[in-house]
């Protein structure tokens, strides 16, 4: 049967798996370096085209990212996946460039109070740091992307005005950063807010190439991604097995799940270049390695047309059919 793309959807999207960074940064116990490397190499082998593999932050602030350079050095780069890393300042950027990242991600919050909680400085200071990192990236030939946290709401301030998001996006663009991610830090996004912010950016900062990053805190991560598809957005960040959450935001549970998102996209006729069964395998191995049940759904149920033998399933009488 020929697959037909849902009306209004793009034919292909780019998935960025942020599990190795956003998924593991707040994990309550140390995650061994070899577990991270196996996860990353598995994701690359499954066809994930871009991964946020680590962050070059102070180890005392985020201990699970202390092995950033070691992780970068061990990744299988033969398949050409784009490897990005989060960097908070010029020192982190210098380390990331030395480690050989393909791109650096700068970040700040649209909300002033969350920016203070997250990086302990004012938003203007973060914007100045982003401009400096953009300059370093240009000199080194390393791409720089910009993330806007709390783009759909702040746990301290509530609603975040669209004007604040536009201000950050314009500042990024003025520094040469045009690949911009709207981050749903604590799962406050709704389809209506996605539509509103995507349309505002398209109208006011047309040079912005927008990506969307959702958490599934309130169970609407995929619904928000669906809304983004209808707005023509073709880049999405998600986390294998749905792991993750910001350590500096109350109530921030896991990210939207990569394999759940890929399943929805493929069943909607949208190409990703990712092999779903292989991705499910990575999610299952990650769950086993971390020793805790993870929130991904497709990793438990399998694809829609997965079939079973009758003798594998109990009947209503309690015996196997």
pLDDT in tens, 170-216: 999 999 999 999 999 889 999 999 999 999 999 999 999 999 999 99
Task: Return the number of other C-beta atoms located less than 10 Å from residue 212's C-beta.
Answer: 28
Q: Note whether residue 319 is domain-resident.
A: no
Contact criterion met (CB below 8 Å) for 240 and 259: yes
Task: Report if residue 317 sits inside a domain.
Answer: no
pLDDT at residue 318 in the model: 57
Q: How many domains does the chain have?
A: 1
pLDDT in tens, 251-261: 556 799 999 99
Is residue 283 in some structural domain?
yes
* Domain assignment of residue 1, yes or no: no
The CATH number of the domain holding residue 232 is 3.20.20.70
- Cβ within 8 Å of residue 216, ≥6 positions away: 187, 222, 242, 253, 254, 255, 256, 257, 295
Average pLDDT score over the chain: 92
| C-beta atoms surrounding 280 within 10 Å | 24
CA distance 301 to 96: 38
**Annotated active-site residue in 154, 198, 246, 257:** 246
Q: For residue 173, is it within any domain?
A: yes
Which residues, in sequence order, are bridge partners of residue 210?
180
Q: What is the domain range of residue 56?
A: 14-312
**Would 100 be classed as within a structural domain?**
yes
In a domain, residue 5? The reply is: no
Q: Label residue 273 by pLDDT band (50, 70, 90).
A: very high
pLDDT score recorded for residue 5: 81
- Within a domain: 321: no
The question of whether 246 is a catalytic residue gets the answer: yes
């Amino acid at each position: 049967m020929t697959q037909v793309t849902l009306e209004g959807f793009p034919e292909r999207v780019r998935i960025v798996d942020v599990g190795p960074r956003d998924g593991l940064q707040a994990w309550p116990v140390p995650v061994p370096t070899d577990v991270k490397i196996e996860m990353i190499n598995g994701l690359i082998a499954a066809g994930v085209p871009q991964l946020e593999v680590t962050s070059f932050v102070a180890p005392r602030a985020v201990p699970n990212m202390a092995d950033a350079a070691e992780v970068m050095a061990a990744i299988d780069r033969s398949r050409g996946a784009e490897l990005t890393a989060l960097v908070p300042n010029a020192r982190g950027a210098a380390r990331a460039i030395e480690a050989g990242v393909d791109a650096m991600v700068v970040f700040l919050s649209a909300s002033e109070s969350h920016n203070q909680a997250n990086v302990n400085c004012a938003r203007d200071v973060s914007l100045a740091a982003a401009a400096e990192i953009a300059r370093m990236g240009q000199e080194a030939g390393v791409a720089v992307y910009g993330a806007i946290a709390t783009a759909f709401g702040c746990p301290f301030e509530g609603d975040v005005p669209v004007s604040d998001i536009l201000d950050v996006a314009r500042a990024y663009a003025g520094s040469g950063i045009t690949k911009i991610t709207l981050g749903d830090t604590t799962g406050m996004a709704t389809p209506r807010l996605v539509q509103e912010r995507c349309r505002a950016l398209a109208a006011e900062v047309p040079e912005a190439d927008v990506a969307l990053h959702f958490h599934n805190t309130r169970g609407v991560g995929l619904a928000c991604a669906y809304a983004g598809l209808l707005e023509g957005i073709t880049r999405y960040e998600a986390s294998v097995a749905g792991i993750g959450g910001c350590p500096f935001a109350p109530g921030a549970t896991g990210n939207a799940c990569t394999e759940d998102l890929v399943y929805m996209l493929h069943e909607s006729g949208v190409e990703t270049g990712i092999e779903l069964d292989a991705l499910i395998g990575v999610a299952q191995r990650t769950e086993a390695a971390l020793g805790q049940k993870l929130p991904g759904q497709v990793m438990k149920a399998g694809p829609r047309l997965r079939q079973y033998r009758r003798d594998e399933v109990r009947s209503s009488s309690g015996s196997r059919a």
